[in-house]
Amino acid sequence: MADEERAKRKREHLELAMKQTDGDNGFDEMELIRPALPETKLSQVDLSTSFLAHELKAPILIEAMTGGTDEAAKINEALSRIARDLGIGLALGSCSIVEKSPESLSSFTIARKVNRKGLLFANCSPTTPVRAIRKTVKGMRADALQIHLNAVQEMAMAEGDRDLTWLEHIGNIRMSCPCPIIVKEVGFGLDRRSVQRLVEIGVDTFDIGGKGGTNFAQIELERGGNDNHLSTLADLGLTTAESLMDLRGIKGINIIASGGIRTPLDTLKCLVGGANLVGMAGSVLKVLKQEGEEGCRAYLARFIEELRVLLCLFGCQRINDAKKVEYVLHGKLREFAEQRSVRHG
DSSP 105: G
Residue 152 is predicted with a pLDDT of: 92
> How would residue 2 be classed by pLDDT, with cut points 50, 70 and 90?
very low
CA-CA distances (angstroms) from residue 144 to 86, 119, 203?
A: 20, 8, 12
Q: Report pLDDT digits (tens) over 184-196.
A: 999 999 999 999 9
> How would residue 205 be classed by pLDDT, with cut points 50, 70 and 90?
very high
84 forms beta bridges with none
Ramachandran angles phi, psi of 150, nearest 5°: -130, 45
> How would residue 146 be classed by pLDDT, with cut points 50, 70 and 90?
very high
Burial of 232 (0-12, 13-18, 19+ CB in 10 A): exposed
95 vs 144, higher pLDDT: 144
- Range 38-62 average pLDDT: 97
Question: CB count, 10 Å around CB of 19?
Answer: 9
- Range 163-178 average pLDDT: 95
Residue 288 pLDDT > 80, yes or no? yes
CA of residue 262 relative to chain centroid, distance: 13
- Range 144-169 average pLDDT: 92
> How would residue 17 be classed by pLDDT, with cut points 50, 70 and 90?
low
Burial of 41 (0-12, 13-18, 19+ CB in 10 A): exposed
Collapsed DSSP state (helix, strand, coil) of residue 56: strand
Taking alpha carbons only, the member of 150, 146, 149 closest to residue 137 is 146
Residues 6+ apart with CB under 8 A from 339: none
Separation between Cα atoms, residue 160 and residue 230, nearest integer Å? 13
- Range 125-146 average pLDDT: 94
**Across the chain, what does the average pLDDT equal?**
91
Residue 338 pLDDT > 80, yes or no? yes
Residue 12 is predicted with a pLDDT of: 67
> Residue 156 corresponds to which amino acid?
A
Residue 289 pLDDT > 90, yes or no? yes
Give residue limits of the domains in the chain: 3-344
- Range 298-313 average pLDDT: 98
Pick the CATH number of 3-344 from 3.20.20.70, 3.40.50.1820, 3.40.309.10, 2.60.40.1180: 3.20.20.70
Residue 275 pLDDT > 70, yes or no? yes
Residue 242 pLDDT > 50, yes or no? yes
Residue 160 is predicted with a pLDDT of: 85
Separation between Cα atoms, residue 67 and residue 10, nearest integer Å? 8
Residue 1 is predicted with a pLDDT of: 47
Q: Where are the beta strands (DSSP E) in the chain?
A: 30-32, 49-51, 54-56, 60-62, 89-91, 120-124, 144-149, 181-185, 205-207, 254-258, 277-280, 327-329
Separation between Cα atoms, residue 112 and residue 105, nearest integer Å? 12
Residue 140 is predicted with a pLDDT of: 93
Separation between Cα atoms, residue 8 and residue 69, nearest integer Å? 9
CA-CA distances (angstroms) from residue 46 to 43, 219, 307, 338?
A: 8, 39, 11, 33
> How would residue 226 be classed by pLDDT, with cut points 50, 70 and 90?
very low
Q: Name the strand (E) or helix (H) holding 78.
A: helix 70-86
Taking alpha carbons only, the member of 22, 127, 121 closest to residue 67 is 121
Q: What percent of the chain has pLDDT over 90?
A: 75
Residue 134 is predicted with a pLDDT of: 93
Taking alpha carbons only, the member of 85, 157, 173 closest to residue 123 is 173
Across 88-102, 150-164, 280-294, the highest mean pLDDT is recorded for 280-294
Q: Report pLDDT digits (tens) over 95-134.
A: 888 888 889 899 999 999 999 999 999 999 999 999 989 9
